[in-house]
Amino acid sequence: MAQTTYPQSIELRNSNINSGNINSGNVFVSYNETVYKSDEDAQIMRWLSILEPEGRHHGVRTDRFDGVGGWLLDTREFRDWRGGEGGTDTAVLFCSGNPGVGKTYLRHVAGFFERSECY
């Protein structure tokens, strides 16, 4: 029973891969889009939590644009962590930053464009 699979959800994932959507993965297969084997399965998924971080991630991803922050994925720290060879000691990677800095920063950049578009 524990190994029950849901063909519908797997199919969804595969079709994303085939269409070249590199952002596919189970995070994006929202539980309420997936057709579960029974009503009870769907109820259990809803019962687990009222939060839907899966949907939230969609929103953040849409706001993002390509090429920004890519340097992080190239750092040795990220690769070592991702590789997972270090065991328990290197299990946690912490990106420490003040969101205000980024936002203020962007406001200046965006502000420049808004002004220039008024001409």
Partner 1 sequence: MLLTARNNSSLVIDSLCDQAGKGDITVACLYYDFLAHQEQTTANMIGAILRQLVSRSGIPDDLRKAFQDGKRAVGGRRPLRADLMRMLKTAIASLPQVFICIDAVDECLSKNIPELLELLRDIVRESPTTRIFLTARPHVNDDIRRYFPKVVVIPISPNMDDIRNYLEMRLDRDTEPEAMSNDLRAGIIRIMLEKMSDMYV
Shortest CB 116 distance to partner 1, Å: 8
Least distance to partner 1 from the beta carbon of 39, Å? 12
Site string for partner 1, 63-102 (x = CB under 8 A): xxx-xxxxxxx-x-xx-xxx-x--xxxxxxxxxxxxx-xx
Total Cβ atoms within 10 A of residue 12:
18
Cα–Cα distance for residue pair 61/23, rounded to 1 Å: 9
Check residue 28 for interaction with partner 1 (CB under 8 A). yes
Nearest approach, Cβ of residue 85 and partner 1 (Å): 10
Map tokens 């949907």 to a residue. 55
Site for partner 1 contains 17 (CB under 8 A): yes
Q: How many CB atoms lie within 10 A of CB 9?
A: 16
15 binds partner 1 (CB under 8 A): no
CA distance 34 to 29: 7
- Does 40 bind partner 1 (CB under 8 A)? Our answer is yes
Q: How many residues bind partner 1 (CB under 8 A)?
A: 78
Q: How far is the CB of 99 from partner 1 (least distance, A)?
A: 4
Give yes or no for residue 118 binding partner 1 (CB under 8 A).
no
Q: Could you tell me if 32 and 42 are in contact, meaning their C-beta atoms sit under 8 angstroms apart?
A: yes
